Amino acid sequence: MRRKITVVGAGNVGGTLAQRLAERNYADLVLIDVVEGLPQGKALDLLQAGPVVGYDCNIVGSNHYEDTAKSDIVIITSGVARKPGMTRDDLLYTNMEIIKSVTQNIVKFSPNCMIIMVSNPLDAMAQLAFHVSHFPKNRVMGMAGVLDTARFRTFLAQEAKVSVTDTYSFVLGGHGDTMVPLPRYSTVAGVPIPELFPKETIERLVQRTRDGGAEIVKHLKTGSAFYAPSAAVAQMVDALVYDQKKILPCAAYLEGEYGINGFYVGVPAKLGKNGVEEVVEFKLSKEETAALKKSADSVKELVELMLTKMK
């Protein structure tokens, strides 16, 4: 039986992700959205690309969750972007209601699936999906660290004037201003970057990574990133589908790892056919530990606001 993957949200991220997954040709796809005609049109367009590109998976666009039934993996990209004048709490409360409803429908029709959260504020929304779904922690995860790490690697490669394939890095923590790039564990051709660049250069690259999404929004003016986010999700889906046991930085539920308990925070995790199969713990310095705790506290604040609102 072919695998079935649902992408919730047919906007730029969801639509581009559907294209990337279709071209992998390892699962049938459902693209779902509340906007009538949007997922249907994009699904039909993707189907018609199949004969040219060479994939033959079935792709369905729908406004009804019944069509998502028995999905193996569900990726949630729905929600609103932060608009001018909208506070962080406004964004949290608005997307909270959307993600709550989406998760309830996912559980109803695909009770055995794995969930990958992409909607923002990402770590809090992953926590919400975990809370609402009552799924085991290994089956709910969030995409953030893969994207943030890709941005850091891009900037490292540009600075060193080398191929991005020669760079390696990890970015931990919440997806936002408090994320924690790890220069000590970041390398160019195997050489740690503190041995290659002065401190000022590393700090500049770290800050650019933290501002990676905002930099793109500044250029686009009316939208946000979608090529890199969709590529990051696809890499996570590959690890699940192919049981790669690949260590990727993603939002995972922690129960004491890194001194954090009861929250979703970005950490290195081994992804395979069972979802998050292991949280990989690196030895952090005092400064790195403090930065990760600060990031986790920021996530905790959002989660507490959200849970209070839900009562």
Instruction: Give the residue numbers annotated as catalytic, written as ranges.
Output: 175
* Helix, strand, or coil (residue 268): strand
Nearest 5°: phi and psi at 40? Answer: -65, -45
Q: Kindly compute the dihedral angle of the four CA atoms of residues 107, 111, 115, 118, in this order, to the nearest 10 degrees.
A: -20
Between CA 124 and CA 100 the distance in angstroms is 12
Number of H helices, E strands in the chain: 9, 14
Strand partners, 192: 187
Cβ count within 10 A of residue 61: 24
Between CA 20 and CA 49 the distance in angstroms is 12
Contact, 61 vs 41, CB < 8 A?
Answer: yes
Element (H, E) at 260: none
